Structure formats: C-alpha cells, structure tokens
Amino acid sequence: MKKLNGKLTKLNIAVFISGRGSNLRSIILDSLKKNSVYKVKIVISNKKKAKGLLLAKKKGIKNYIVDFTKSKKLGLEVLRKLNKNKIKLVCLAGFMKIVPSYFIKQYKGKIINIHPSLLPKYKGLDTHKRVILNKEKFTGCTVHYVNKLLDSGKIIIQERISLKKKDTVQSIKKKVLKLEHKIYPIAIKKVLITL
C-alpha cells in the first residue's frame, strides 16, 4: 500500500496467463480481501481461448489478448500498457511463453513466476511425470523471479509435499496446484514490500 495525497492506494499488478487461470483466480480472490495491499489491474493472455480471461472479464479487470512474444512491436506496446497502468509487479501464472530479454530488462526484478516443482529440480514441462520416474520422495512448487534462463531466477518461496507410492501425475497435479494457490499470493506480498 502506498500513500498518495494522504490516501492509501493499492499497488497495481499484472497477471499473464495462457490457459485455465486457477492461479489467477487465487490471486484475484486474495486481492479482493479486506486490507489487501494490491490490485490486479491488467490480465494479459497470449491465447484467445484462455479460460482465465472469463474470470478477468467477470471481475471487470482490463484484459488483453496479445502474444507479445511474437514481435518487439507488440512487446513494447504491452510495456507501454504496464507503464500507463502503473504496474509494479508482473506475475506469470501458467504463462507458457518465454518472456523476451528486452522485456525482462525493462521490468528488472519485477517479474515473477510459479513453477510446479522444487526448483532448481525439474525445470520446464512434465515435471510430475519426471518426479514419478525418478522415484522422488518429495515434490512441490516454487515462486521465483524471472530471468532470461528458463525457471532459473532467484527463489522467493517454495513449499513441498511428500509423495506416496500410489501417487499419479493427476494426484500430484491436484495436490501441487492447491499449494500453488496458497503460496502465490504470499509470494506477491513478500515481493511487493521490497519494491
């Protein structure tokens, strides 16, 4: 929260999605709680059919469909939108594209991502499948800063669950996703107080 003309104003964040948007939902719900310090001001999706867009619309949040990773022109347009809306933090939530390096530079230390594994283990896709194949005893999820290397930025928060022999990709996905919904809003607040 920031004081502007004697009034407390919420910090604006943007959420980038590509699909279902269940993390977007948990972030929006957290932002709507009494005393929340932040507000989801913009949602950007690179996919027209991303389900998460429906929720953004329902909640009256500005939303744009643009695959800005395709051209620098589009990327600069999105950066302008972020600036115009005084976006303090960009949260990638199931955003399945690599953010270009010029974009990361502009928002240095202000882009974070959630990943369904205990990073630095299992970067990239199919994390749960690989966790099972390697007979891991634990897995979990991580919120980290975004840098130009995939799933490699500094870790902000990480939480783990233990695995049972009978666990499947589906059962792990369900448990980890529940944990993601819990830790992402916590990570956002943790980062916002440092900005």
Question: Active-site residues: which are they?
Answer: 115
Of the two residues 23 and 139, which places its CB atom closer to ligand GRF in the complex?
23
Q: Is 139 left (phi over 0), alpha (psi -120 to 50) or beta?
A: beta
With tokens 């999820």, the residue in question is: 141
Residue with token string 């507000």: 39
Q: Where are the alpha helices (DSSP H) in 4-71?
A: 22-31, 52-58
Binding segment toward ligand GRF, per CB under 6 A, in 53-61, 79-87, 109-117, 128-136: 109-117
Per CB under 6 A, does 121 bind ligand GRF?
no
Q: Establish if 21 lies at the interface with ligand GRF (CB under 6 A).
A: yes
90-113 as b/e: b if 16+ CB within 10 A: bbbbbbeeebbeebbebbeebbbb
Binding segment (CB under 6 A) for ligand GRF, from list 15-23, 36-44, 68-76, 143-151: 15-23
Binding part of the chain for ligand GRF, among 17-25, 58-66, 72-80, 153-161 by CB under 6 A, reads: 17-25
For ligand GRF, the binding residues (CB under 6 A) are: 17, 19-23, 93-94, 114-116, 177, 180
